Each structure stands twice: as structure tokens, then as C-alpha cells.
Chain A
Amino acid sequence: MLYYILLPFLSVLLIVLQSMITDLVFSSRLVFEVSLLVVIYAGFRLDFVRGTYLALVLGFIFDCLSGSVPGVFAWIYTIIFWCSFYISDWLETEKTHVIVLFSFICTFLKQIVIDLFYFLAFDMNVLVSAYSIAFIQSLIIGLLAPLFFYGMDRTGILLYEEKV
């Protein structure tokens, strides 16, 4: 129960911190989307209900704080969680290259879906250069993913004396 109560607050904390880091390190040119890594991690490690709740809450808070159309990120994050959750049965999610590749593909596809949504809904033509930025962003997220997963695993071991 505590998980369901605390998660929205922790999600606010995460999204705010994420936007601050993005502003500080990348001067808002790239989005350092740790929240997406959290969703993928949840897909690999958490159960279905908890994970879906996390993806929905995290996505919704991201929607609210980023000023996007409410529900877009909630919807995408949920899809990504479900994909991660089902794929984790097929892939060896402990391996680094799987984590890197999957995180990279998810981040890149997420960006394309967002761009496509804005194109269809608002007729916003996204420049080709945006895809190169999305590529770099996905690459950074992909490369940082194993580190993040390792950190989360260690935290889980420290808190519960076993992997989450």
C-alpha cells in the first residue's frame, strides 16, 4: 500500500530532478529521461500491476510538468512498460548489451511516436535534425541504462537484501 501512496510523490521528485539535470548538464538541448529508464527497469523487474501503475503515474506526472497533452506520456510509458514486461520473458534482461539495445530502441521509438502524435494532432512538422537529437538522446540513455540498472539492483539489495 505504501508503494501506491508514495509513488506519486517520488515520481514528482524524479521528474523535477530530471528536468533540473537536463537544464544544468545539457542546457535543455537534450532530455535526460531517467523516468523512461525507470519504466523499462520496472518492465524487467516488477510485477504487472505495480509496473503499470508506475508507468501511468510517472507518465501522467511527466505530462503535467512538461506541459504536453495530458495522457500522452502516460499512454506511451504504459505501452513501453508492457513491451518491457512481455519481452523480459524472452530476453536475458541481466545482460548489458540487451539493456543498452532495448533502452536505446525504446527511447528512439518513443521520440518517433511523440513526434508522430504531434504531427497528426497539431500538424507540427518535426525537422530532420530533431531525429539526430533523438538519436543522441537515445544513445546517452542506452549507454547509461546498465549503470542505472546496476544502481537500482544494488539499492534493492541494500533495502530488501535481495534483487527487486
Chain B
Amino acid sequence: MVAVFISVLVMIFYDLKYSTHRSFLRKIVLETAYPVQEIFSGSIQGIKDAWLRYVLLVGIQEENKKLKSQMNELKANLVAYEESYQEAQRLKKLLSISKKYPYRFVTARVVGREQAALSRTVLINKGAADGLRNGMPVIAYPGLIGRLVDVSWHVSRVLLFIDENSNIDGIIQRNRTQGIVGGAGSRGMILKYISKAQDVQKGDVIVSSGMGGVFPKGWLIGQVIQVDRQSAGLFLKISVAPFTDLSKLEELLVLTSDESTFE
């Protein structure tokens, strides 16, 4: 054993002195180790790759979570932008009305609805504090839709034309035939007191007559959708549909100018 130990020491010093790394035994060991190393490195590399792929997948999962969260945020933003865009479009239409006519308007937002059997009204977020008074005409693009009936300090109630208590003076734009447009609830409106002798056709446009001083003259009210000449009585039975979808009201204009300024 001592001889072996000494021979090892000699080997070390011999190698240090002559710097030979190419001994026969060393070559044998390297040749023996090579196939083993190749087999192991193949399998270890496979494990390493699998591990790295797993780590990568975990990373992807995290990234996926983040992206989903970002996507939800962006979706919310998109909905908000879409909402703002549509609101802008509606306000643009209202603005086009207010620019077209030389009157003073107050813009209001619909904050509530009352769609009971006999009542068709909406609540708006403006009131006496904003200069509103009972009876003021209310407009939604492209024409009149009702008038104020209850005005509080900051909230007002609008009586829509389709309410059965609503009656306004209207004329058929084409032949200037005058009648009363009354509310008919879910059926829309009816044009009353038009004699059977009058020429009224489906599609005729009804505008405000301006009589009574409540509504300015020439504003759109609705369109004739049905004319019944067969009914009993002296007058025609004319059904009128409003131009605006009253179930989708969101922003309105209230005409605050004095009645004296109406043409």
C-alpha cells in the first residue's frame, strides 16, 4: 500500500514536471467514460429540457393570467369608450337641434321612467333651479316628445305625447290639415278630429301647429302609420307613431325660451 501511495505521489510530481496529460491509463478511463457520459448526458439533457419546458409553461401561465386581466381591463375600457361615443352621437344630434333654432335649451338626462298602464312619463335631472317651468316643451332628436308637468327644484317629470292625458295641436305637413294629437299609450298616438273628407295618407308627417303658444310651430311630432276610413262616426281614425323611440330616451332638451318668442 505504501508503494502504491508513493507511486501516486511520483505520478503527481512527474506530471507536474513534464506536464503530460496523455498517459495510457488516462486515455483508457476517458474512452470508458465516453459511452457512459453520452448515455447519461442524453437522458439528463432530456430531463433538463423537460424541466425548462415546465418552467416555461409556468411562465406562460403567469403571462396568460396577466394578459387575461389586461384584456378584461381593455374590454371595460372599450365598453366605456363605446358608451361615450354613443352618448356623444346623441348629444351631437341634440346640439344640431339647439343650433338650428334660435331658442334657449337646457340639456337634461333621463333618470327614471314611469310606464304604468295609464301613465307615460319620464323623470329628468333638471328642475326649477335650472330655469325649468311647468308646460315647457321637451325635445328629443328629431322632434317634440312631450312637456314638463311636475317641476321640482332639481328633478322634473315629462309627460310624453303617448300618455293618454296628453293632447297637442298638430297639422299634417303635406296638406296643412289640423287636428289634435292625443296619446294612446302603447299604441302610440292618434290624430283626432279629422273629417273623413280630408286627404290623409299613411306616411304623412305631423308637425306642431304652434297654436296655444305651448309648442313652437313646425316641430316634428310623428308620422301617420294607419288611416281607418271604415269606422263609424264623422272622423277618421288615424294612428300616429312618434319619430323617437320613447323607450330609449337618455338625453333630452327642454325648450326654456318664452312662449312669446315662438314663431
Contact = CB atoms under 8 A, between A and B. Distances in A.
Contact of A23 (B5, B23, B25, B44): B44
Nearest to B12: A71
Interface stretch (A57-65, A107-115, A133-141, A150-158): A57-65
A60 B47 contact: no
A65 B11 contact: no
Contact of A75 (B1, B9, B16): B9
Interface stretch (A13-21, A29-37, A90-98, A123-131): A13-21
Contacts of A75: 5, 8-9, 12
A31 to B, nearest CB: 16
What secondary structure prevails in chain A residues at the interface with B? helix
**Which residue, B9, B23, B37, B48, has most C-beta atoms of chain A within 10 A?**
B37
A64 B30 contact: yes
Given A12-B36, A13-B36, A15-B33, A78 B11 contact: no
Given A12-B29, A64-B29, A71 B36 contact: no
Contacts of B40: 16-17, 20
B47 A24 contact: yes
Contacts of A71: 8-9, 11-12, 15
Given A70-B15, A74-B8, A75-B5, A20 B41 contact: yes
B45 to A, nearest CB: 9
B109 to A, nearest CB: 65
Interface of A: 8-9, 12-13, 15-17, 20, 23-24, 48-49, 52, 56, 60-61, 63-65, 67, 69-72, 74-75, 78, 121
29 contacts: A12-B32, A13-B36, A15-B33, A16-B33, A16-B36, A17-B40, A20-B40, A20-B41, A20-B44, A24-B44, A24-B47, A48-B1, A49-B1, A60-B25, A60-B29, A61-B29, A61-B33, A64-B29, A65-B29, A65-B30, A69-B16, A70-B12, A70-B15, A71-B8, A71-B11, A71-B12, A74-B8, A75-B5, A75-B8
Given A20-B41, A75-B9, A78-B5, 17 more contacts: A12-B29, A12-B36, A20-B40, A23-B44, A24-B47, A61-B29, A64-B25, A64-B33, A65-B29, A67-B21, A70-B21, A71-B11, A71-B12, A71-B15, A72-B12, A74-B11, A121-B16
